[in-house]
Amino acid sequence: MTINVARTRSQKKPSTASRGIRSLGIAIAVPVALTVTNIMMFGETDTFHYQNLDRPFWIPPLWALHLTCVSSAFVMGLSAWLVWADSGFHRTPTAIFMYLAQLGLGLAWDSIFFKVGPTRMGLGVSFGHMVTIFSCSRMFGRINPIAGDLVKLCLLWTLFLTFVNLHFVLEE
């Protein structure tokens, strides 16, 4: 009897591992793909030319801004997967709504900032994005401390983007 149980467990491990890798891939690929699509659609338009702006030294070039936004989407997807793997979204359903809200606000900010330009509306969206990421950080940290710490990196990046937006709004 114990031999059959051991075989059953070993037979289940590869399928469980492959499901875990598949779910990790999806958790990362979806936000990264949405961010890349958003960048391709709104990266720099005829309305607003980020590259032509007179930027201080601390504001990165467009390619670095986009690369870091994609990296942030990757880290948020990984964090969400860590929370999901610990059944955190079942125990704290609000966490999934905060995650989706921060994803939506991040995509909205990119669209507003790069399509319209640095506006007060973009600044408001950026503040909302910071609040949702801060909420994610707290909720995720209670479920999985590593996920909470990873989200703090995204919070720092969003804070920086808010300062970039604020800089250009104040110069208008």
Q: Is residue 149 included in any domain, yes or no?
A: yes
Q: How many domains does the chain have?
A: 1
65: left (phi over 0), alpha (psi -120 to 50) or beta: alpha
Q: Is residue 135 included in any domain, yes or no?
A: yes
Q: Is residue 110 included in any domain, yes or no?
A: yes
Q: Is residue 167 included in any domain, yes or no?
A: yes
Q: Are 52 and 7 in contact (CB under 8 A)?
A: no
Q: Which domain holds residue 139?
A: 30-44+58-171
Residue among 72, 62, 146 nearest 105 (CA): 72
Q: Is residue 24 included in any domain, yes or no?
A: no
Rounded CA-CA distance 44/42 in Å is 6
Q: Is residue 84 included in any domain, yes or no?
A: yes
Q: Is residue 5 included in any domain, yes or no?
A: no
| pLDDT tens-digit readout, 138-169 | 999 999 999 999 999 999 999 999 999 999 88
Q: Are 95 and 143 in contact (CB under 8 A)?
A: yes
Q: What is the pTM of this model?
A: 0.84
